[in-house]
Structure 1
């Protein structure tokens, strides 16, 4: 149960009975006024003299005074139960004293007390309400036997017995009713809290939607706009702005949709520096003049379509690559045999070399496509990055002669641990270092590539692959990680794409960072803080 709901106490449910408490105190004041009228008004002679004149007058005036106080402080009382207990105690005490002092009005007073007992049982918990009824039964019986002892009374025993039954019956019924009212109020409070929480969740979801949402009233004013819509509208979406002034073209499309019900779903440029959006319209409620406008970002739609296309293309390419692999292996084997033969002319050997090189290139393309389509899930392990990058440099030098090029690893700390799949990290570094050695060089000079391990401002491990080449133009840098994008006639355009996907599989990020002094930096930013201890 949410804390906000659990915090609802029984005392909070008592607030539902505040109005009943007010009418209870008002009725008590009416009872006291009638008792005073009976004793001091013109009807006093009709009832005959009281049994105890002084007691009767004192009881009537005291009861009126206390009833007035209870009425005045009843609506401001913080403790409903305490006020109800004080009220029913006052009613029973002065009521039975009045019955004894004015026997002629005793039946009427006892009858009016039925409402007091019922009201107390309604306002109080069951045990207190029934307790008040039992006190009333005891009081009516004690007063009867007291009156019978003092003088001969014409009242029959059946009368107090019937009143006792009435007190118990009305207390039982109103106690059940009070419990149901408290339960209903408590349920309503809980549902209200849940509804408020759901409303907050819905508002949060709408605010965080990547789709812009606008609420436009019948006067073409923007009533509400979520964060995505506010970014599109700017200051024009704040408050109750006119849609015609903020987005004239969107306002025209909304007016046309309201007239004929047909929406123009062609992309709309809301601002020069904002992406295109596709507007969709729907009424907030049937017959309402308020309209919900959804602004779908076309770039998001394009990315979703691109992801679906890539997934389909990946499956198709994997099947195609598998079929190409067998004849390609046969071609490479035949070329190898021809190169070893002495019957091949010298001029033809150049052709065989071209065939072998292109076969190797095609095999690389097949391997990249298969790796993209059948990429295994990451298997994170504890990795000490400083030692890992140094071992990687040694392994790369052993398998790829660098000649005049240089490749070295540096670090700001002796040990930096992290959690990542070491095999996939090795694959990512291989792609980045290979690209840096090929493209990250100044013409006529050897390549200088470095792997630098350090911590960012948040304490997260970072691996930078840096070269001292000419850098990458901005228009090219924006497309570096797109699949099949390449500026080289010998590349596949899949290396950087696969490298970024492998990083994402390890909750890491791969980005290109231009260097002010020249050159390029591909930064692997790992998630989570650096581990204090990692195995060598």
Structure 2
């Protein structure tokens, strides 16, 4: 039982053919077998040199010749096995070394004894054994070789009457065997420790590289690595989304882009001519956000590779606007009481004047203007106050299909005024990925977009109807919601300004609805954009973040 345990432990610790150390060991054994094959061929060739005097020099010539021939046949057979693809394990190597030591001493016994030059080949076999198996088995090889050498010398002195100097020579060879064993074992252990250290460091480097790749891929800043000709060597997901998002959605881009968009290519050429110059913001396509690119060389001496950082300028603009509106919100919160008091007095006075029986139609029209603008001022105050009071998003994983059906029913109940009923055409694609967001905040965004869509659809077509389409992005990992109306659409000159605060084309609007909607989407790591797909009406798209990659 104990012997089986030791054997299993030894097999566990020894290299297997599938490991790098096992493959290296098999390669060394193949080289050693080539050496044995050459030696056996030379020994056979020497049989045909001066064969007449062999009887006088060799003790047992027939056994020697048979042993040399058998040794050649054994090595040739092993060489054929290795050539056929045989992978020796530790037991095969140990057996081969033991056979070498025993066969060499057998040849010494049948030839001229320990004084024969074949004794030097035993040192090579012991050394090879300690290189191939740097363990206590290597010491056993040396001990076996020393015992065999002393046994041959002692037998020759006792049985054949040879000189006792052969025992001294055998003892010297034994010392050489052990010296070779100890030295090579020490060297092999150091080499194994160095190899293990190198393998450990290589694994650490690979792990660090994987971690760096994951970090780079999850960064929101676009990162590109280019050559001097503008060919893309590396791009993270953010860079592909910023530069090629529109092309990917319309299937006009290959799986792995290698060529820069023309505006960025021109910026690279400008930077190469003047590295100290900062290029102007650019748009990869007419529907893309404004981007800012910063260039730097990875190799200062050769300058073969260029690192590019790409930032979405709309985020910077939004941050500036958010800071501005936050200050405005704090200011409004401070003076809201002072504004609402006179505003309430104005509204109350208008109501009292409206009750007067002596008002002519012109005066009543003026009172309507006062009431309408009073409501607008109050709405502006409420919206700006919402900016300063906005809470953090409490996101949860939501299945969009049932949520949208419930939202549609609830929203239509609030829009049923009897005169012009509202209609929402809901389309949900199959295999829709889930989305992670705050229900109340995204519901507020949807209500805002649906209200706008119904209003503009009624103004343009006379029908209060919009369409909601839920689908998945091109990679199938993120969900989106499209809200499309039947209105006149947005003029090309106004498309870049629709999300700016206080921008509106409706005299009754405050200009903060779409801005607040985008802010709420950004709080949920979603993106609200105006889609230009060439179809009539206006389409706003909410693209949600990956449900498993939200930061």
Give the TM-score, by structure 2 length: 0.68
| 1:287 lines up with 2:301 in the alignment | yes
| 1:129 lines up with 2:138 in the alignment | yes
Tell me if the contact between 1:472 and 1:514 (Cα under 8 Å) persists in the aligned partners.
no
Distance 1:162 1:515, change over 3 A: closer
| 1:439 lines up with 2:451 in the alignment | no
Q: What CA RMSD, in Å, does the superposition of the two structures yield over aligned residues?
A: 5.4
Distance 1:374 1:180, change over 3 A: farther
The answer for the alignment partner of 2:340 in structure 1 is: 329
Consecutive unaligned residues of structure 2, counting only runs of 5 or more, are 1-14, 248-252
Tell me if the contact between 1:100 and 1:106 (Cα under 8 Å) persists in the aligned partners.
no
Tell me if the contact between 1:409 and 1:450 (Cα under 8 Å) persists in the aligned partners.
yes
The answer for the alignment partner of 1:50 in structure 2 is: 58
The answer for the alignment partner of 2:328 in structure 1 is: 317
How many aligned positions are there?
A: 497
Distance 1:47 1:21, change over 3 A: farther
Q: Of residues 488, 510, 526 in structure 1, which corresponds to 2:506?
A: 488
| 1:361 lines up with 2:376 in the alignment | yes
| More displaced 10-residue stretch of structure 1: 17-26 or 40-49 | 40-49
Offset of residue 269 of structure 1? 7.7
Tell me if the contact between 2:457 and 2:486 (Cα under 8 Å) persists in the aligned partners.
yes
Tell me if the contact between 1:21 and 1:84 (Cα under 8 Å) persists in the aligned partners.
yes
Tell me if the contact between 2:350 and 2:371 (Cα under 8 Å) persists in the aligned partners.
no
Distance 1:498 1:278, change over 3 A: closer
Aligned to 2:504, the other structure's residue is in SS state coil
The answer for the alignment partner of 2:278 in structure 1 is: 265
Q: Of residues 183, 188, 194 in structure 2, which corresponds to 1:178?
A: 188
Find the aligned partners of 1:314 and 1:304 in 2 and give their Cα distance: 15
Distance 1:154 1:240, change over 3 A: farther
Consecutive unaligned residues of structure 1, counting only runs of 5 or more, are 1-6, 530-536
Tell me if the contact between 2:456 and 2:486 (Cα under 8 Å) persists in the aligned partners.
no
Tell me if the contact between 2:457 and 2:466 (Cα under 8 Å) persists in the aligned partners.
no
Aligned to 2:422, the other structure's residue is in SS state strand
Tell me if the contact between 1:451 and 1:466 (Cα under 8 Å) persists in the aligned partners.
yes
Find the aligned partners of 2:490 and 2:171 in 1 and give their Cα distance: 104
Tell me if the contact between 2:41 and 2:72 (Cα under 8 Å) persists in the aligned partners.
yes
Offset of residue 365 of structure 1? 1.5
Per-residue CA deviation, residues 174-199 of structure 1 (Å, 9 max, x unaligned), is: 23433443454455456556656766
| Residue correspondence of structure 1 range 81-230 to structure 2 within 5 A | 81=90, 84-85=93-94, 87-106=96-115, 108-124=117-133, 126-144=135-153, 146-147=155-156, 150-155=159-164, 160=170, 163-164=173-174, 166-185=176-195, 187-189=197-199, 191-192=201-202, 210-216=222-228, 225-226=233-234
Tell me if the contact between 1:283 and 1:292 (Cα under 8 Å) persists in the aligned partners.
yes
Tell me if the contact between 2:290 and 2:313 (Cα under 8 Å) persists in the aligned partners.
no
Distance 1:528 1:183, change over 3 A: closer
Offset of residue 394 of structure 1? 2.8
Tell me if the contact between 1:98 and 1:106 (Cα under 8 Å) persists in the aligned partners.
no
Tell me if the contact between 1:214 and 1:224 (Cα under 8 Å) persists in the aligned partners.
yes
